[in-house]
Every structure is written in C-alpha cells, then in structure tokens.
Amino acid sequence: MEEVRRRQRLTAEAVALRTLKPQFGLGAIGDVEPAVEGAARGAILPATDLLLVAGFLGRAQAVRNHLLPMARELPGLSHMGQRIGEFGGLIKAIEAAVAPSGEIREDASPDLPRLRRETREKHDRLVARMEGILQRAIAQGIAQDSIITERDGRYVIPIKAESRSHIRSVVHDVSSSGATVFVEPLVVVEMGNAWREARLAEEREIQRILRRLSEAIGAEGGTIEASLGAIAEIDVVVARAALGVEMGAALPAAGDREIGWVVEAPSELRLQTARHPLLTGEVVPISLMLGGEHPGVLVTGPNTGGKTVALKTAGLLALMAQAGMAIPGEPGCRFPVYAGVYADIGDEQSIEQSLSTFSSHMTNIIRILSEADAHSLVLLDELGAGTDPTEGAALGRAILSHLLTGDVSVMATTHHSELKLFAHQEAAVQNASVDFDPETLAPTYRLRLGLPGRSNAIAIARRLGMPESVLANAEAGVGQDDASVEGLLADLQREHAAASDARAAEEFARGEAEEIRHGLAQSRDELEAKREGMIARTELEMETELAGLRRATRAAEKQLLKGRRDDIERARREGEEAEAHLVNVRQKRSETRRRRARRAQEAPLDPSAIRAGDKVFLAGIEQAGEALGLVGEDGTLEVQLGALRSRVPVDQVERTMRDGSPVPSAAIHYDLAPVDVESRLEVRGQTLDEAIPAVESFLDQAYRAGLQRLELVHGKGTGTLRQAVRELLRLHPLVSSYEGAERREGGEGVTIVRMAV
C-alpha cells in the first residue's frame, strides 16, 4: 500500500514539476554503465567514453540542482535528487582535458604542449627533407608521382621499380602492378625514427592523462552508478506524468495526504467514466464498482458490445494505478492494492498442445482457482463457453461461487441466461450489461450496472444481412422460456432507460434550483453585510455626536455661575436622547450579529421539508406565520400572517416549527475548513470606514481558523479608532473579552482579543 502511494505521490509531484519548472528535462542521456564498470576494473577509457560520462554527470548535476531547492514543494523527487552525487570537480577535470571533438586538449598536462611541439618540429623537418629528395627524383625521371605517402607509420616516395638502385633506400611497399616501389631514403631514416619517437612520447602522455581521468571515474564508480539509478527512476516518474497529460488522464494533486486512487477499506474498485488507454477515436467511458458488498460483477449483452473491453479496462487500470500511473478517467476512480491480477480472456486454442478452446479456458481457470485469494482480482471472459450450454452454465456458476466464497473480486462475461439468473439471486454479484440500441441494432458500448443484457444474436444477424428465411427458423427454434426472458429483459431495459432519463432531468432541475437558492443566499448575506456596515457607521456617528453633547454639557456647567441654567438643562436633555438612541442602535446591531452567527452555525433550511400547518419564521418579522401548503415550483411559499395571506420567497424562511419542535434542516454541509490566517491585524492609519469592515472580516476568519488570541494594532492617535474598534469588540458575538496590550506589546495602541471557544 505504501509503495503504491509513494509511486502515485511521485507522479503527482512530476505533474507539478511540469508547471513549476517548464524547462526541466533529462535530455539525451547515454548508457554510461559499461564505461563506469570498466574504469572501476582499471581499464583506460577512450576520450569518447570520457565525454559520454562527463555528459551524463553534467545532466545529473543539473537535475540535482533543479530538485534539491524544491524539497518543500516536491519532497519525493527532491529526496531522489539527493541520491545524485556531486561531480563538479570530475566534470571540470574531464572537460579541461578533452575537447568536444574528442581530441585531448593542448593544455591537458604540463608536458603535453612541449611534446606536441617537438613532434611537429621533427615532422616538419622530415617532410622538408623528403620533398627535396622527391623533387630531385622527379628531375632525374625516376619518381613515379610527386607525392609523399605513408606506409606503416613511415614516410615514403614512389619510385619506378627499374630505378630503385638510383636511391639508397628501404623498400616499404610495392604497387599491385609491380611497376612502383615505395621507398624510404636512408638519409631520412634517422629523422623518421626521431619523429616516431616523438609521437610515441606524445601518445604515452595522452595515455597517462586518460588513465588519470579513468581512475578518477573508477574511484567514483559507486556514486555514479547510484546516480544513474536515481536518474533512471526520475526518468520513469517524469514519463508517467507526461503519459498522463498526453492521455488526458486523471492526475492527483501534489501535497494531498491521501493522494492518488488507492483505497484501504472497503476493498472496492471504482471506475468513474474511465477509458481504455489504448482505444482511439470516440471512446465510450465506463463506470462500475467491484468489491465491498458486491465482490462480483457479471457482464452480459451482445457480441461486439464491449464486454471484453470492460474486463480489460478494469484490469489494466488497476495495474496502472499500482504502477503509479495516471488513470484515464475522472478523479473519483479508486483501486485496492491487489496481490495478483488473473485473467482468462480470448480464444487460446492450441493444436501443438492438443487443447481446444474449452480445454484452454479450463486450464487457465484451474490455475486461477488454486492461486487467487481475497487480495486478487480475477477477470473471466465468456465464462462457460465452448461446451454444452447446460453444463457450461452449471460449471460457470460453480466457479463463481467458489471465488466468491473466498472473497475474491471477480468480473466475468457470459451469454448464459442461467448465470444471469444466478447473479440476480446472489447478493454478492451484480448484474451488468452493455447497451444495444434496438432502433439502429448497433451496440452503444455503454456499461450499465444493475440489469442483465440481451444477447440480441438474431437482431445482430439481421443487421448483418442474414436471410429472413433463416432468421424465421431461428426465432421459431428459440424456446418459449428463453423468448420470455429476452422479452422481459428488453422491457426492463426500456424502463431503466426511461427512469435514467427522468432521474437525469430531475438532477438537472435540482441543480438549477440549488444554484438559484445559493445565489439568493449570497445576495442576502451581502445585503446583511451592507446593513451591518451602515449600523456601525451610524453608531460611530452617534458616538461622535454624543461626545460633542457631553462637551457642550460640561461647557454649560461652567457657565452655571453666570446664570445660564436653561442652556445646561437643554444640553442634558439632548445628551439623554442621544444616549437612548445609541443604546437602540447597539441593540439592533447586536441582534443582527446574533442572528447572523446563528444562521452560520445552523444547517440550511430544506424547503422540501415544509408542510401545511408548520409554523414559519420570516427574516425581519417577529410574528410567526403558518404555512398554507408546500413550496411551489417557483420557489415561493403561501403564508398566513395574522389576517394577511401572502406568497413569500422560501429564502425568507429562517426556521420552521411543527408540533412545538423544529423541523429538521437539510443535510447539507458547507465547507468551513480552517483558513490560513495571521493572528495580528494592523489598521493603524486607516479611516473608520476602512478599518471596521477589515476588523469584522478578520474576526470571522480567525474564528474559522480556530485562533483564540488576536492582536489588533490601531495606534494611539486621538483615540477615535481605538474607541470604535473596542466598541465593535464589545458587541461582537465571537469575542469573549478584550483588553489593552502591555507596554512592551504596544500599550494602548494595541488591543488583545480573546475569541469565544
């Protein structure tokens, strides 16, 4: 299980790598293993092999440098990259000594430049002396040609055979006609020897350089081979990802804890609109479930309808998933980890082994029965075929029963009606069929679970052009029971198709209604947020006005000694009115927040649960009403509110009561997964209109993230922003308490908030 998941995680990381590093690629890497093994045994590698090794090491180094910095994003691939060694010094040594052309560089060693210079000088002197001798021979008419050639590493000139005595020389070769001899004049033999010795000295130095580099490779042989293994594994992983993209296959996302398609329990294989990866053109996907409560699936239907393809698709995709490959299907595909996948598919008739089709099938199935267990997947094609129908059906039923008794997951195809009946009666087996269009008399290749299929042999023969007289005899020969079963299957399939169409239409309508309801709920939340913002601004304005009135009151009190008692009384009355108005605003805002928090925690109302006579509570109306019927198709509900009867949108219904108890809400789950939120928010320098909404949003997100202690940085300034923020905290239903920070944390410029648990 863990190995399969590791492979799938690596494939997912390789997919992510294609996005993170579009330029990443292994390039053309040669097989350096023979060269490295030879160097480890002490062999001197030729310059071409040194270049091959250097090329691999450079490519491996680039892969390592790409992957190691991505340990957080791609931990698996980065770990594989750590197995690649550091070869910077060895690469530099090889590239410094061997040119891309394969020649040893002039500066590959301190002695090589001198040796090559001496070789060139001795060569040039030798050639100059030979040219002088050749020109004199031409002038004397004894030279056959005006060129200097080489024989066995010695320079020679062509001389006419009858004139060879004119030059004291050593004969190295004779032309095929015998008319020309190639001679080395004795006067240049010593010069030739000197040139040859210089060449040998240069060659010995080159061999010494090659030996030094080969020994360096041999010393790193183990690390290089380990790096080669890591590169090979990375190559496979990258190829898996590339193949998945090419197939348009389902690919897991890197970083998921339960990554990939492997499941532990129940042991269920699930294909969701999956395609056979080798089919081309308009491929009809299949969906099926195998294992768990239904470890067996029996597929029936016409020939050429896709039964065998369904078997092969299930088996091949199961093996692909275990290899860590992408699956050509939707992400809902799931696969157990099978210890063995056994298949008996196709006509394996063998004259050499004296096996008929039936004998070949039985030989395979006998081996499968002896080896398959609860961790196996067994695929059986045309079960019970190739022999007497009655005996074949009985044998097929016994084989299925044996496998199911051992909790083996088995998928089989057949044409036997007895096996269709067995699958209908056996709870562990599901009937399945491949569709056949009765109008066009052609297979649709769609796999349908729950219903057995018809063979449609006569219908297919008619479509292919079988004479009607033959077909009439065939239809007359079909037993009454078989004809009844086929007719019943046809009726069931038509009813199933009609039910499927109706269910699809219902699902579509429900989806549209849900989308509309979601949009209305979102609009309501936006309006609620705007309303709350307006209340907050009004509250701040009232605070400001009240502060002004208080200042006016204090000023009026100072005028008491001057006899301005009427002004004082008027200021006090205005202050008391402002206080009362502010309290009212605060109460409304607090109620709005409590209602909003309560609605966020409750499951949404299920409109289909409302019945006539239920007590309903509408948003913004304290008085309860009575539902007069069910929710209409237009999404409205008729409600009696006192003497008033009206139709209202169902989204205005906040809750319902029936017989004094709440009506159950819809079993809908809203994703309130924690979000990544900092515990500190700075609104210093912002206006009230900017700061208050930011603080509200921050509190909501912090509550969802499970944070219990927050810091709000508002600064000291005039104190207006601090006062507004703390007043918001005092009324907020998610806030347990708040206080000013300690001096070292910012003092009165920072407020510490404790969130409600």
Neighbours of 5 (CB within 10 A): 17
240 and 384 assigned to the same domain: no
CA dihedral 499, 501, 504, 506 (to 10 degrees): -70
Lowest mean pLDDT, pick from 172-176, 258-262, 536-540, 580-584? 258-262
Please, what is the Cα angle at 254 between 252 and 257, to 5 degrees? 85
Task: Quote the pLDDT of residue 105.
Answer: 92
Please count the structural domains in the chain: 5
What is the mean predicted confidence (pLDDT) over 192-205?
92
Q: How far is CA 708 from the centre of its chain?
A: 36
What is the mean predicted confidence (pLDDT) over 446-471?
73
SS3 15: helix
More confidently predicted of 347 and 243: 243
Neighbours of 607 (CB within 10 A): 18
248: left (phi over 0), alpha (psi -120 to 50) or beta: left
Please report, in angstroms and rounded to a whole number, the separation of the first and last CA atoms in the chain.
39
User: Is 90 exceeded by the pLDDT of residue 82?
Assistant: yes
Share of the chain above pLDDT 70, in %: 74
SS3 443: strand
User: Is 70 exceeded by the pLDDT of residue 486?
Assistant: no
For residue 483, what pLDDT band results from cuts at 50, 70 and 90? Answer: very low
Q: Where does 248-350 have alpha helices with state H?
A: 307-322
Task: Quote the pLDDT of residue 561.
Answer: 45
More confidently predicted of 633 and 351: 633
347 and 431 assigned to the same domain: yes
Cis peptide bond prior to 266, omega within 30° of 0: yes
Rounded Cα–Cα distance for residues 181 and 175 (Å): 6
226 and 159 assigned to the same domain: no
Q: Are strands 340-344 and 376-380 parallel, antiparallel or unpaired?
A: parallel
Please, what is the Cα angle at 50 between 117 and 225, to 5 degrees? 155
Beta-carbon contacts of residue 143 (< 8 Å; ≥ 6 apart): 134, 137, 157, 158, 159, 160
SS3 442: strand
Task: Quote the pLDDT of residue 256.
Answer: 43
Task: Quote the pLDDT of residue 673.
Answer: 42
- Residues pairing with 296 in the sheet: 410, 429
652 and 703 assigned to the same domain: no
277 and 421 assigned to the same domain: yes
Task: Quote the pLDDT of residue 425.
Answer: 79
Rounded Cα–Cα distance for residues 60 and 62 (Å): 5
User: Is 70 exceeded by the pLDDT of residue 159?
Assistant: yes
SS3 342: strand
Q: Are 324 and 15 in contact (CB under 8 A)?
A: no
- Residue 633 tokens, joined: 């198709």
User: Is 90 exceeded by the pLDDT of residue 350?
Assistant: no
166 and 23 assigned to the same domain: no
For residue 576, what pLDDT band results from cuts at 50, 70 and 90? Answer: low
Task: Quote the pLDDT of residue 90.
Answer: 94
Domain contains 630: yes
Beta-carbon contacts of residue 356 (< 8 Å; ≥ 6 apart): 349, 386
Task: Quote the pLDDT of residue 500.
Answer: 60
- Residue 112 tokens, joined: 């090589």
Domain contains 718: yes
Q: Are 622 and 614 in contact (CB under 8 A)?
A: no
Domain limit, last residue, from 426, 453, 477: 477
Domain contains 55: yes
- Encode pLDDT of 41-79 as tens digits: 999 999 999 999 999 999 999 999 889 998 888 999 999
More confidently predicted of 103 and 661: 103
185 and 323 assigned to the same domain: no
418 and 303 assigned to the same domain: yes
- Residues pairing with 754 in the sheet: 709, 737
Domain contains 366: yes
Please provide the DSSP assignment of 553-619 as one string. Answer: HHHHHHTGGGT-HHHHHHHHHHHHHHHHHHHHHHHHHHHHHHHHHHHHHSPPP-GGG--TT-EEEET
Map 61-86 to HEC letters: HHHHHHHHHHCCCCHHHHHHHHCCCC
For residue 488, what pLDDT band results from cuts at 50, 70 and 90? Answer: very low
CA-closest candidate to residue 301, choices 486, 136, 64: 486
- Residue owning tokens 């006192």: 642
What is the mean predicted confidence (pLDDT) over 187-192?
90
- Residue 232 tokens, joined: 């090979």
Domain contains 94: no
Please provide the DSSP assignment of 120-181 as one string. Answer: HHHHHHHHHHHHHHHHHHHHHT-BS-S--EEETTEEEEEEEGGGGGGS-EEEEEE-TTSSEE
For residue 126, what pLDDT band results from cuts at 50, 70 and 90? Answer: very high
More confidently predicted of 262 and 526: 526
- Encode pLDDT of 370-420 as tens digits: 999 988 999 999 887 877 778 888 898 999 999 999 889 999 988 887 888
285 and 359 assigned to the same domain: yes
More confidently predicted of 495 and 80: 80
Domain contains 168: yes
User: Is 60 exceeded by the pLDDT of residue 493?
Assistant: no
Task: Quote the pLDDT of residue 551.
Answer: 64
- Encode pLDDT of 86-124 as tens digits: 999 999 999 999 999 989 998 999 999 999 999 999 999
What is the mean predicted confidence (pLDDT) over 175-180?
85
Task: Quote the pLDDT of residue 501.
Answer: 60
Rounded Cα–Cα distance for residues 271 and 314 (Å): 8
Domain contains 724: yes
Question: DSSP assignment, residue 301?
Answer: -
Q: How far is CA 462 from the centre of its chain?
A: 47
User: Is 80 exceeded by the pLDDT of residue 476?
Assistant: no
Rounded Cα–Cα distance for residues 287 and 299 (Å): 13
User: Is 50 exceeded by the pLDDT of residue 354?
Assistant: no
What is the mean predicted confidence (pLDDT) over 456-479?
74
CA dihedral 184, 190, 192, 193 (to 10 degrees): 130
Q: Are 206 and 111 in contact (CB under 8 A)?
A: no
- Residue owning tokens 């010494």: 208
Beta-carbon contacts of residue 609 (< 8 Å; ≥ 6 apart): 656, 663, 664, 665, 666
347 and 288 assigned to the same domain: yes
Task: Quote the pLDDT of residue 569.
Answer: 65
CATH at residue 743: 3.30.1370.110
Q: What angle, 0 to 180 degrees and rounded to 10, lies between the N-to-C axes of helices 221-247 and 33-40?
A: 170
293 and 395 assigned to the same domain: yes
What is the mean predicted confidence (pLDDT) over 526-536?
64
For the chain, what is the largest distance between any 2 Cα atoms, rounded to a whole number of angstroms?
157
Task: Quote the pLDDT of residue 511.
Answer: 65
Q: How far is CA 6 from the centre of its chain?
A: 13
What is the mean predicted confidence (pLDDT) over 157-168?
85
178 and 288 assigned to the same domain: no
User: Is 70 exceeded by the pLDDT of residue 697?
Assistant: yes
CA-closest candidate to residue 287, choices 327, 340, 245, 345: 327
Task: Quote the pLDDT of residue 480.
Answer: 45
- Residues pairing with 20 in the sheet: none
- Encode pLDDT of 313-329 as tens digits: 999 999 998 898 888 88
User: Is 70 exceeded by the pLDDT of residue 574?
Assistant: no
Neighbours of 54 (CB within 10 A): 23
Task: Quote the pLDDT of residue 39.
Answer: 94
CA-closest candidate to residue 418, choices 491, 495, 485, 493: 485
Domain limit, last residue, from 638, 665, 692: 665
Rounded Cα–Cα distance for residues 404 and 547 (Å): 83
Q: Are strands 735-740 and 709-713 parallel, antiparallel or unpaired?
A: unpaired
- Residues pairing with 447 in the sheet: 434
Task: Quote the pLDDT of residue 744.
Answer: 81
Query: Range of 461's domain?
Result: 268-477
CATH at residue 661: 2.30.30
Q: Are 614 and 654 in contact (CB under 8 A)?
A: no
Q: Phi/psi at 713 (nearest 5 deg)?
A: -95, 105
Q: Are 148 and 133 in contact (CB under 8 A)?
A: no
Rounded Cα–Cα distance for residues 303 and 457 (Å): 8
Domain contains 736: yes
- Residue owning tokens 């040998």: 200
What is the mean predicted confidence (pLDDT) over 256-264?
51
User: Is 80 exceeded by the pLDDT of residue 522?
Assistant: no
User: Is 60 exceeded by the pLDDT of residue 177?
Assistant: yes
More confidently predicted of 361 and 100: 100
SS3 334: strand
More confidently predicted of 505 and 713: 713
Lowest mean pLDDT, pick from 183-187, 266-270, 307-311, 595-599? 595-599
Q: What angle, 0 to 180 degrees and rounded to 10, lies between the N-to-C axes of helices 389-405 and 417-425?
A: 30
Task: Quote the pLDDT of residue 484.
Answer: 45
Query: Which H/E stretch holds residue 420?
Result: helix 417-425
What is the mean predicted confidence (pLDDT) over 588-602?
55
User: Is 60 exceeded by the pLDDT of residue 737?
Assistant: yes
